[in-house]
Structure 1
């Protein structure tokens, strides 16, 4: 392999790679590796839901379901494979609805593409849109999937007791527009001093160094940060009841953030990025696709990957088989892991990218952990199956119970708000008339179950038709809170029901009631509201009811898509190495050249000396939202970024093996000198970082994209933090009510 590194044009084909899982992480890894000449096969156990419906000729759709949580979900009336119907009549709706003649597309969530999703934007502009020719062949066009994104320029929010508000998703273009926005804020009844202090805390975060964020802010909740509660436990500021309620409600609505237990660094970084990019005036500031995700993105991606030589196989992975011990052999020549499929087939790829969800990754690596492998594999032990601490997230490890759980059972997951896994799910309401609540996103402040929605069909090129699809419009809703009781829906003991206690029909009816109540501020006359009522609804496919398979009768008992949320002090518990930016512009924790790195290698774990993701037994790398990323938030963006880190680790390892174990990638190959503020400011990096095996994948750090004006104070704060000193501003400005 040494000659291959020296003269790649004359060497044998690149190593084989098995990618386990066809979600965003798996597809991204396959894409990046195929572009660099690796021989890639993707294994996914789920079939594309459109196959077997008789709506298109055989072979029209991919053999496996692509996209994971990002994929569209196709629901039908009646049974499919003996399972209950996924598309169900809305309870209480009079008359017989028009049944669709084909499967109906819906989304798990918004499929929202905010401006700071730079990994996704970079990816979308590299996927051609394919068009079917008269001969039935698919050919690439000059358009890319990025052209299929439509800008969303508005967002709305309900206000308890007042009319709903609509805000622009762009910076006001004039003083008049700015004053108009301020006028709406006044309608919320928020005191000016509350707004001023909140803004001061945001500015305080912006001038806080990544080092202090890692050492201190990650161990605070976002609520504690915004009230200025320090180590002494005393809040510096008390907000008015109306502002305090808003501060506690809005994080739940966004992505199941908990203000009391959510990691302040992740929560505030995500919040800031959503608003710092409002000054963009191109057509990709914030957007959604112009059709169902699977059709507008994933189908084109599949065709492009096939054109790059990627193969897709419908098969599940059962386990990763430890390599046979080879004492005395050099580390880079030791045997590699084999993959056993559920049908008993044993694969022997050169590299394996585990791009499955966290519970599945923990399950298939059991045998590897039994061999004493460290790093990511050790971090996976109990990551999903250990019960959360009973008292609070920072409860000492030695006092926690050793109980294990099934991470897919609703009764076992998310019972306490500091559980790192929660149930965040979606529901689609279908209407037999045109109904667009808002051409943008809607947040229902005060809704017990943390609801938000979008009428996505209004941005689709191919609009639904009643005769064909059984509906004309669709409202996609996210349910972010499965634990709070309803004030209206009660059980036989008079207690408010939570979403986890409901049947499918109860959940649909209660979500719609909460939406109508929030919009009309009338909890008693929901049935009389001046809104059209749904004719159909479809719950997220990941939910399963107690009556058996599918979404039949009984309450929710299983969620096949547990959602990872950022919990106070929990970042260090995520498996694997820290993310590494090839440009060297980010805070990373680089292993020393001493005992720790040597100890990892003794346990079959390799890591480049510059840091980054780890390679286990010369072959296994992990990718997915549960790994550490600069994005931090569980999202399409984090999945895409994580896969790029995994590919970069494979490139480094491949070069290390090809150099006979001498090149350990301590530095990137070309030292560039970058102008101040030049990096991470656009949709793609201006400078490539090559290796002998091909360019590193672009990596964007969202914290590098915070305003450049704050950098000087961040740099100064990092020096203070290294010396265990308070933030520079804290040494100049006494706490509220304190003495100078």
Structure 2
């Protein structure tokens, strides 16, 4: 039985405690009379999030961050209600294609994009292990399957480069894959000038041996392309290191901070080396994300007493006496007023900052800094194919594609037989692609994705993949294999004057760390749980891992504010290579003295 089923006890066996009357009065006295807002009209019904005084929690948003906070708090005895405007899981959910299932099959499974669970994730895997799943010893975590390869595809006649993401030890050696890897390495890497490769290696070494002080004080404010000195370098250098191989889609090289990009490169590198990892360096679920993860999670949360209120679009928060007294939401039945003792705002950045009224911003001035956070487009299109097309047993990054594409033939990793389970029985494969650059002109129509119709986007992505995969004479994507396609419905109005995106991603651009708040706010009963929240355990770029960590931190902050003696939520530290500690200590001293990194010296011209 879980802790929640044992009557809300922490690992030491102590009963979890909600805030006592003295605590509530102390919080109120500390901020009494600070600021207030107008109340709602009497006609608006009130919705209570719980019954026991001091124990009710309203989680606003059902993405990974919100569901994580709900999970942790419900296990510790809190009465949690989650309010969501769309569907459980947020951007991590699957999106069934309406009306495509026939003969008792389920609708074809759409996604926001391929779903990767990297080896350097630690917080998220811990949650996955704690979600029961029939027949699985380790719960939903056992629904993850290793992705053994990633391929870098070019469209200039050079062989593609497949790279193993798991050690060869313990698995059969694929001779053909090994041959392709060697041929691709020779044909691709020898096009890169040696002095440019050495320069990139030097820059990466600087980032990996920089102190935390320099990372946040200097590299956070330098754009990745500037740090790599892309201007003046070869086209090959720019494509390889400046963004063509964009495995982490929400990081845009032209805007992202060097600290964040370096953090991602370092995490992936050590994950490939199997140092400090939770498991294989790259995994995906063995079925559509919602079926393999989100739906079982919702069932488990309901078993812990969590309630879900769907079709609730939260549009305002009330502040009175220095505390949030209610949230307001629009529903199909009309406006409602949500009452609770504690509030966890788990909506994305662009929606959260719309909730920060002038009084709320005055109560916590850091929330106003969120106005400077930017978002980006990074969305998926699925091609459903009449026969399986396993280009490679893993992901493919299309380095030369104008729209920075990454794909994966998903169903080769799925447990269920595709044509018997989904669709009309004619579709046999789900080929999932993420489009990360919506502003660059395409190769087929010469227009950015935002300016293309949905049909043009589907044709353009297909053409860009064929240009990379079939430039050496081998046919991977014959046109007759295409059954249908499905573009993320969050994107709308493309091809028209006002393209829109209902679910953008946070952009980790240079300097954005300073504008990101922590999970605890200056308002004592308001907490934040989304991927824009500062995270410290492992990585902090937009991902399911950071959203999960933010939810954990929000739960801990609430427990602290409540004076609870329940066990705190575990936070997992990222890997720190011991070999670099001495170099980082030296660099911390140099940074305090105003000196550059010891390796940061003028680079000789070739």
Shift of 1:119: 1.0
Shift of 1:241: 3.6
Shift of 1:693: 2.4
Contact 1:352 1:620 in 2 (8 A): yes
- Secondary structure, aligned partner of 1:477: strand
Structure 1, residues 632-652: CA drift from partner, whole Å, max 9, x if none? 211111110111111121122
Structure 1, residues 123-182: CA drift from partner, whole Å, max 9, x if none? 111111047xxxxxxxxx6441111100011011112221222111135669x9999966
Q: Name 1:570's counterpart in structure 2.
A: 512
1:516 matches 2:466? yes
TM-score (norm 1): 0.68
Q: Name 2:202's counterpart in structure 1.
A: 200
Q: Name 2:587's counterpart in structure 1.
A: 717
1:33 matches 2:24? no
1:224 matches 2:226? yes
Closer, same or farther in 2 for the Cα pair 1:735/1:324, shift >3 Å? closer
Shift of 1:438: 1.5
Q: Name 2:502's counterpart in structure 1.
A: 560
Shift of 1:323: 3.5
- What stretches of structure 1 move > 6 A for 4+ residues in a row? 4-7, 9-12, 176-180, 525-529
Q: Name 2:58's counterpart in structure 1.
A: 18
Separation in 2, partners of 1:482, 1:443: 16
Q: Name 1:338's counterpart in structure 2.
A: 326
Q: Name 2:392's counterpart in structure 1.
A: 438
Structure 1, residues 654-674: CA drift from partner, whole Å, max 9, x if none? 12xxxxxxxxxxxxxxxxxxx
Q: Which runs of 5+ in 1 are unaligned?
A: 47-64, 79-86, 88-97, 132-140, 230-234, 326-333, 385-419, 490-495, 547-552, 578-612, 656-691
Separation in 2, partners of 1:217, 1:73: 38
Contact 2:443 2:464 in 1 (8 A): no
Q: Name 1:584's counterpart in structure 2.
A: none
Shift of 1:465: 0.9
Q: Name 1:377's counterpart in structure 2.
A: 367
Q: Name 1:544's counterpart in structure 2.
A: 492
Q: Name 1:264's counterpart in structure 2.
A: 258
Separation in 2, partners of 1:263, 1:535: 40
- Secondary structure, aligned partner of 1:614: coil
Taking only aligned residues, the RMSD between alpha carbons, in angstroms, comes to 3.3
Contact 2:244 2:401 in 1 (8 A): no
Q: Name 1:393's counterpart in structure 2.
A: none
Aligned residues: 546
Separation in 2, partners of 1:519, 1:512: 11
Shift of 1:700: 3.1
Contact 1:77 1:100 in 2 (8 A): no
- Secondary structure, aligned partner of 1:129: coil
Structure 1, residues 53-79: CA drift from partner, whole Å, max 9, x if none? xxxxxxxxxxxx21100000100248x
Contact 2:55 2:79 in 1 (8 A): yes
Closer, same or farther in 2 for the Cα pair 1:462/1:205, shift >3 Å? same
Higher relative contact order at CA 8 Å, sep ≥6: structure 1 or structure 2? 2
Separation in 1, partners of 2:248, 2:17: 52
Structure 1, residues 501-534: CA drift from partner, whole Å, max 9, x if none? 1111111011101111111228xx9999756531
5 Å matches for 1:47-86?
65-77=87-99
Q: Which runs of 5+ in 2 are unaligned?
A: 1-8, 21-51
Contact 1:615 1:653 in 2 (8 A): no
Separation in 2, partners of 1:616, 1:315: 29
Separation in 2, partners of 1:520, 1:180: 14
Structure 1, residues 14-38: CA drift from partner, whole Å, max 9, x if none? 6110001111011000011111221
TM-score (norm 2): 0.82
1:124 matches 2:128? yes
Shift of 1:246: 1.9
Shift of 1:469: 4.3
